[in-house]
Amino acid sequence: MIKIFLFSTGTAFLTAGQLCFVRNLRNTELKCSQVRWVYEDPIERRKIPFKGRDSLILEIKNRLFKGDPLDDYARTECYEKYMKDWSLPGSEYVVGNKAPKKVLVLNGYYCVNEGNTEILPEYWCNDTIKIERHTHFGKGDKLLDKNLQKKIRIFLRTGKENADIKFNIHSDNELVVTEKGKQSKIVTFFSQPAKWEDQYSKITHLMFVVHGVGHRGNENAVVNITKRLDKGVKSLGISSGNFFIPIHWRNSIQERGHKCDESCSQEQDNFWINLAFDDVRLYNCRKIGKQIREVVICIMNYRYKQFITNNKGFKGTVAIFGHSLGSVISYDILTNFDGVTLWKQNTAGMKLDFLDKMKRLFTVGSPLKRFIDRREERYIELKRKLSISHRMEMKESPVEQFRFVHSSSSFRISNIYHRTDPVAYRLETLIHDGLRFRIDYLVSNDFHWPHLCYPYLGDVYKLMREFFEEVEAPADASEDLCFYILFLLGVLNFFLLITKPLS
Ligand SMILES: [Zn+2]
């Protein structure tokens, strides 16, 4: 049994005998790259192979767990180059005071369990997926005889069978092989061995997905929305890396016997809307509404910290996809809303930790205009009732505040709506004609429920792609520019040195 020891320097050492054993792996033993790991897709209900890098990670972890040897490529090109500070079995990974890096797969969305039997979601709950180990033209842990592998390849390429051997496709990656006089056996196959370079794009954009009404006790719904958005954007063949994190806030809200009255529901919406949508009633309560915003900020900051830990050196942008009431909550958080008042508040409320990276708020199927209109009415009413002291600084009205957000460059709002969505309103009408630039985006929807259609629509994925392309990694670009300037200065300096006349 081989064990890998990590000393305080973080370097891996094997004894001479162990190294010899690793180098002299018999041909019949599978290399890590010849094994392919697969996962059960719960939606498509079929087994899908992991990308090459994920498969190598899973196989290396599996072998370290069992004490099995690593082949040269897996040891030198994967483990020693990239995985020495990871949380792997048998590794004394403490390097300085740093916590070990989690073993994540599927673009970093899932964490691998200890026994390599399941993967668990990193940013949500209740979504465990089973994984399996399959071999490359092999049976069990052994490669098939070379001649038999050659015959399989010919069969897969041409469909030709040999008189002494029959092949039948069993599933996407399984083949039934029947040799004359022998019992049939199922072998698994992949056309290419796993490579470390076969991986997901580097993540450059992070998007939080905030749900609206009707998610009490139902975390799966916002997770499914998130998955659909991720899959839809990826289906456009976008080259940059996008990462979506669901924010499920409803289960964390507790009324604790609170009964609303006029003192806490001054901006309350239409009686019938409050009656039909309990979450809207709760949000219109100044006490519970504040609690909801604080909960969303807490969850977002926690998830952001988690994401940064898993993606050290992230230089990309952050956006929010707020659906329905979620768009209002997100807007309020970004504009520090704390009830309609006439005076500027000096209270230091909770803030998001990624405001410097925040570039876009997608308000989707959004009643934000309705909320702003109601608040504007309340603001005007307050102004009319109260005698105003000129020494006090008046706060801008809700509509004025929206116009300021629209014209400021910190983050932009894109309002996605569909004509048949009874909850969605246009926002451009809040802006003067001359100062208005694109906010509203009409999308087409042929067959889905009006207010719930957005995660299914190609138009929505295209808008996201436009946004990702628009804000494409400016930090990296400027770094590249600096590099080229320094390089050119270096070349110029060298040229001056070699052309300097001798004195
Ligand atoms: Zn209340």
The number of domains in the chain is 2
Burial 247-256 (b: 16+ CB within 10 A, else e): bbbbeeeeee
Instruction: With respect to residue 52, please indicate whether it lies within any of the assigned structural domains.
Output: yes
- 265 CA from centroid of ligand 1 (Å): 6
Residues 257 and 359 in one domain: yes
What domain range includes position 298?
203-472
pLDDT score recorded for residue 500: 46
Q: How far is the CA of 320 from the centre of ligand 1 (A)?
A: 27
Same domain, yes or no, for 223 and 177? no
Ligand 1 centroid from CA 290, angstroms:
10
Instruction: pLDDT band for 302, please (50, 70, 90 cuts).
Output: very high
User: How many angstroms does the Cα of residue 186 sit away from the middle of ligand 1?
Assistant: 64
Q: Do the domain assignments include residue 497? A: no
Is a pLDDT exceeding 70 seen at residue 339?
yes
- pTM of the shown model: 0.79
Whether 177 and 227 map to the same domain: the answer is no
Can you tell me the mean pLDDT for 304-311?
A: 96
56 CB-side CA count, 13 A: 26
- Give the distance (Å) from ligand 1 centre to CA of residue 339: 12
Whole-number pLDDT of residue 476:
46
The alpha carbon of 284 and the centre of ligand 1 are apart by a number of angstroms equal to: 8
403 CA to centre of ligand 1 in angstroms: 29
Of residues 270 and 152, the one with the higher pLDDT is 152
367 and 460 in a single domain? The answer is yes
Whether residue 179 is found in the same domain as residue 213:
no
Residue 25: the pLDDT is 35
How many angstroms separate the CA atoms of 241 and 237, rounded?
11
CA of 255 to the centre of ligand 1 (A): 9
Residue 35 Cα to ligand 1 midpoint, Å, equals 59
Measured in angstroms, how far is the CA atom of residue 282 from the centroid of ligand 1?
A: 7
Average pLDDT over residues 420-447: 88
> Residues 400, 434: one domain?
yes
pLDDT at 181: 87
Query: Taking 60 as the threshold, does the pLDDT of residue 441 lie above it?
Result: yes
pLDDT at 51: 93
Q: pLDDT digits over 49-87, tens only?
A: 899 999 999 999 999 988 888 999 999 999 999 998 888
In a domain, 332, yes or no: yes
Contact 339, 222 (CB under 8 A): no
Secondary structure of residue 428 in the 3-state scheme:
helix
Distance 216 CA to ligand 1 centre (A): 18
247-265 residue pLDDT tens: 999 988 888 888 887 778 7
Last-in-domain residue among 140, 160, 188: 188
Q: Which has the higher per-residue pLDDT, 183 or 393?
A: 183
Judge if 177 and 260 occupy the same domain: no
Residue 487 located in a structural domain: no
pLDDT of residue 41: 82
Q: Of the ranges 228-237, 357-366, 443-452, 460-469, which one carries the lowest mean pLDDT score?
A: 443-452
Ligand 1 centroid to residue 271 C-alpha, Å? 14
* CA 3 to centroid of ligand 1, rounded, Å: 61
Q: What separation in Å is there between the alpha carbon of 285 and the centre of ligand 1?
A: 4
Whats the size of the chain, residue-wise? 503
> Do residues 198 and 53 make contact, with C-beta atoms less than 8 angstroms apart?
yes
CATH number of the domain where residue 267 is located: 3.40.50.1820
Range in 140-154, 200-214, 319-333, 392-406 with the lowest mean pLDDT: 140-154
- State which H helix or E strand residue 170 sits in: strand 165-171
pLDDT band for position 11 (50/70/90)?
A: very low
pLDDT of residue 137: 67
* 188 Cβ contact partners less than 8 Å away, ≥ 6 residues apart: 36, 134, 135, 136, 137, 138, 139, 173, 174, 175
Q: Is residue 221 one of the residues assigned to a domain?
A: yes
- Give the Cα separation of 122 and 50 in Å (integer): 17
**Is the domain of 12 the same as that of 90?**
yes
Per residue in 91-147, pLDDT (tens digit) is: 655 455 677 889 999 999 999 998 899 999 999 999 999 998 876 666 666 667 778
Closest CA relative to residue 439, chosen from 464, 406, 469, 409: 406
Same-domain pairing of 13 and 162: yes
How confident is residue 281, by pLDDT bands cut at 50, 70 and 90?
A: confident
pLDDT digits (tens, 9 = 90+) for 183-232: 888 887 666 789 999 999 899 999 999 999 888 888 889 999 999 999 99
What is the radius of gyration, based on Cα positions, of the chain? Answer: 29
Claim to verify: residue 165 and residue 263 sit in the same structural domain? no
Q: Is residue 486 part of a domain?
A: no
Q: How confident is residue 275, by pLDDT bands cut at 50, 70 and 90?
A: low
Q: What phi and psi, each to the nearest 5 degrees, are found at residue 42? A: -70, -25
**pLDDT value, residue 9:** 28
- DSSP strand E in 370-476: where? 412-417, 440-442
Residue 241 in domain: yes
**What does pLDDT average to over the chain?**
80
